[in-house]
Structure 1
Amino acid sequence: MRYLTYLLPLMFFITTACGGGSGDQQQQADETTTEAQSSAADQSGVRTIEIIGIDQMKFAVESDEDGISTGGETGDYLLLESISAEPGEEIRVVLTTESDLPATAMAHNFVLLTLSADVDAFVNAASQAKDNDYIPADMSDQIIAHTELAGGGETVEVTFTAPEETGEYEYVCSFPGHYAAGMRGTLNVE
């Protein structure tokens, strides 16, 4: 009986130690993999900003992060107001559209315009450029970077270098009516 008093706690310790150890090792392996992936992204020197295009015709993000400014909330998202960048910084914008509507009724893109662009004229011309995914070909000199259109469930991206000249560069969604509804913001190069 005396042996059982010592044997039971010992068996419990061995059982829990063995079971917990493999979980700890798996957790450490997962953390190492995540850290390696983050390091690879950091080493590329490209900052990635993940944006969601929503049915309310707004650019949104899942959470606050360095280098972006957000406004109010809409559902599970924060409304994106602006992005800050250093002159010459490389930025990747990844845009995902969340919508159940057909792409002909609801699609989004990200178009970054030059400092001297006439935004209203650009958006008006874009609404007539359906055959070119609402990117007016004759105004390409006013575009720094743009994505393709993304319908519901689709993701598009563009990588660009922030201009060297400091200032407030506007970005818009050029799908008809979206700019007027507030699907716009500024890239603040400072």
Structure 2
Amino acid sequence: MTRFAPYLFSLMLLFVAACGGGSDQQAEEQTADTQAQATEQADDVRTIEMVGIDRMKFVVEGEEEGIKTGEKMGDYVLLESITAEPGEELRIRLTTESTLPASAMAHNFVLLTMNADATAFANAASKARDNEYIPADMEDQIIAHTDLASGGETVEVTFTAPEETGEYEYICSFPGHYSGGMKGILNVEG
């Protein structure tokens, strides 16, 4: 039996090393992060990582090419506008940071057509609770939108920027958020 002892010891070390080093949850999170990064690199879609905060604002972590930011808001800066080329594919990934219940605080991203009346849309949206605050009779004024995200949730939408240059307003259609300043401009520039 002594001639197999070195092999058994090596086998035991290999087993212990393979079993240690982190939880299954950590491994799953790392795998999900790696897959998300690989997807972004593979599809070459520019992704804007937005955060919706309780102050009813779209914010980002900091400056980056193709966005204009404003005042500092806690750990973030206000997202004022996004610049895109005609026909450019964009991905908006929106995470809501809130401890309030979903009925009191949730966010979405709604990109409106160039000639849409954002105020009229937001007013109609406030009455469309059963449709996640997207007014069914005004869907022709939407280029793209996400679902609602409550605290800790992330939603995303991928879309192609319009071919026509100009300014396209985006808003959060949750009641009161547009009037509270949760809006911005997609500038399509040739």
TM-score normalised by L of structure 1: 0.79
CA distances 1:60-87 after superposition (whole Å, capped 9, x unpaired): 0011110000000111000000000000
C-alpha separation in 1, matches of 2:118 and 2:103: 23
**What 5-or-longer segments of structure 2 have no aligned partner?**
1-32
C-alpha separation in 1, matches of 2:91 and 2:176: 25
Task: Indicate the percent of aligned positions where both proteins have the same amino acid.
Answer: 71
Matched residues, number: 157
Matched, 1:153 2:152: yes
- Quick one: which amino acid aligns to residue 132 of structure 1? N
After superposition, the Cα gap between the structure-2 partners of 1:40 and 1:96, relative to the gap in structure 1 and judged at 3 Å, is closer
C-alpha separation in 1, matches of 2:66 and 2:85: 10
- Displacement after TM superposition at 1:44 (Å): 1.1
- Quick one: which amino acid aligns to residue 79 of structure 1? L
- Secondary structure (helix, strand or coil) at the match of 2:65 reads coil
C-alpha separation in 2, matches of 1:107 and 1:158: 16
- Secondary structure (helix, strand or coil) at the match of 1:116 reads coil
- Displacement after TM superposition at 1:116 (Å): 1.1
- Kindly report the root-mean-square deviation, in angstroms, between the aligned alpha carbons of the 2 structures: 1.8
CA distances 1:15-46 after superposition (whole Å, capped 9, x unpaired): xxxxxxxxxxxxxxxxxxx9998676244121
Matched, 1:173 2:151: no
Give the structure 2 partner of residue 41 of structure 1. 40
Give the structure 1 partner of residue 54 of structure 2. 55
The runs of 4+ residues in structure 1 deviating greater than 4 Å are: 34-40
TM-score normalised by L of structure 2: 0.79
* 1:24-35 paired onto structure 2 within 5 Å: none
**What 5-or-longer segments of structure 1 have no aligned partner?**
1-33
Q: Rg larger in 1 or in 2?
A: 1
